[in-house]
Structure 1
Amino acid sequence: MGKTADRLGERRPLAAVADDEVGEALELLWGGAAVNTWNARRAAVLSWLAWCRERGHDAPSVPGWTKRMTVPDSQTPVRSRLAIDRLIAHREVGLREKTLYRMLYESAARAEEILGINIEDLDLAGRRCPVKAKGAARARRRGQGRADFMLETVYWDAGTARLLPRLLKGRSRGPVFVTHRHPGPCKVLSPRDVCPDSGLARLSYGQARALLDAHTALQGPGTGWDLHELRHSALTHLGEAGASLLLLMAKSRHRKPENLRRYFKPSDQALAEITSLLAPGDSRR
C-alpha cells in the first residue's frame, strides 16, 4: 500500500482519487511483474479500499480493466520414476543424498521442510514426522505468540525407511541431514541446527541444491535438476496412478485445487494409455 499511496500522492484525500488512477498506479508499479506478484498487489489494494468503504470513507475502486491474471501452469519438469530410481541408485551419490532424494520424492514435501527435520521428530515405525510448513493460522487466542509456520505431517515409504537407519548410524538427536564439515568459528547457528554429538551443522537448501545439480547436470553447472522437481514429479506420478483430488491435496497439503492443478503434468505414456480407452471394443482386447 505504501508504494501505491506514494504514486497517487500520499496526502491526497481518497475522495479525490479516481478509479482509473488506481489502475494506472498498479500498472506502473507491477504491470511487468510476475503473475503471482501482480495478483497479490492488486488484491492488497482491492482489500484495503474495500475496508475504507466499509468504514464510511468515500474511496475509489480498483477499475475493472485491471483484472486478476490467470496463474500459468508450472514449468517445472517432471522426472520419470526410472530416472529418479537411477539417480538414487548411482554409486557416486552418497548415502546422505540418496536418503534426501528418496525422502523428498516419497513424501512429496518441500525441500525446506525435509531439510529442517530433526531426528527427535521422526516416527520411524509410523514412517512419518511433523514438518514446519508454510503459512500460519490466521487467528490465534489472546496471549498466544505469533508463529510464521504451522506443523503438518508428512509420510514416506519403504525406500526412505530402509535408508534412514543407515544414515543416522545410532544418532538420536540433532538434524537428520548434516554437512560433512564443521561450521566455521564465525558462523552463528541455532542449537537446533547443530548435531550435539558431532558438532556438524544442518545441511542448507543451497548446499543440497548444489549437490543435486552436480549429480544431474549434463551440460555444465546449473543445468541439472532442481530439488522441487522431486515433489513435482511425485504428485504427477500419484495423479497418473489414479489418486483422487482429495488424496492429492492431503498429500501435497495444498488448500486450493487450482494450486495443485499446476503440479499435474501427465506424461505422454499416461495420455496414450487413457486415450486407448476410447478405442473400439475389439481393439482393447
Structure 2
Amino acid sequence: MAELPPVEYAVAVERYLDVSGLAPGSRRIYRIALNTWAWALADRPAPTGPERRRARPPVLPLALLDHPDAAERLRAAVTRRCADTDPRTLNRELSTLRAAVAWWRAQGWIDGDPAAELRPRPLPRPAATAPFTPEELHALLALRVPLRERTLWHLLHESGAGIETVLALNVDDLDLPHRRTLPRPGRAPVHWQAGTARLLPLLLAGRAAGPLFLTDRRAPAGTPAPDRCPHTGRARLSYRRAAELFTAHTRPLGAGWTLRQLR
C-alpha cells in the first residue's frame, strides 16, 4: 500500500532525509537548515546562534509552500539573515531547501516552487586576507572570549600554521615543555610562543587524548572515533564552526575579518 503524503512540513523533512543517503551528522545539519526555513514560512524570525540548533520549529502544513505568499516570506527571510549569517552558510542552506522542494514536487506533495527565485548570495571578496595590523591584533586578542577561542587564535597567530592543520591537532600531538608538536612522519612540526603556552594547559584540563579543540556539545551518533573526545564525548571543532564563532566575536571590531588573517 502506497504511503500517504505527509501533511506536516516536519514530516516531509524527515521523509526527504530518509531517502537522502546522508550520514547521521550531515542529516542533522540538513535538518537544522530545513527547520530554519520553517520559521520563515510561518512568517516568524528564526532563532540565531546556539538557540537555532535547539529550538523546536513551528508546526505548519506542507501545503503552506503552495501559498501565494510563500515565495515572498522566504525572500524576506533571506534578506533578514544576510545581516548575521555567513554567505557560504546561507547559500548552502538555500541549496538544501531547493533540493528538498524539488524532491517534494517530484512526489506530487506540492505543486509550486517558492524557492525558484532565491539566488545565492555574493561571497566576500578574497582580498580581505591581509594580516592584521598590530593595533587590530591587540584589539582582537583583548576581546573577552571563551578559553577555546582565545587559545585557537593565539596558536594560529604564533605558529603561522594553517587553520586545517591546527584544528586537526590531537592532545597527544603536543610537546608542551618544548612549545611544539611531536615529530610525526610527513608532518611539519607546529611551534608556538608564550601566549599559547600559557593557555594550552588550561584548555586541556587533564585530557590526555582526543581532539585538541572541541565543540560545545556531545558528538552526534556516527562521529568517527578520532574526531570524538574519549573523556567528554564532544566532537572535534570544525573549520566552519570556528569561522562562525570568529565572525560573531569580532563583529564589534569591524566586518570582514577572517581566521586566515591571523597567520
**What TM-score comes out, normalization by structure 1 length?**
0.45
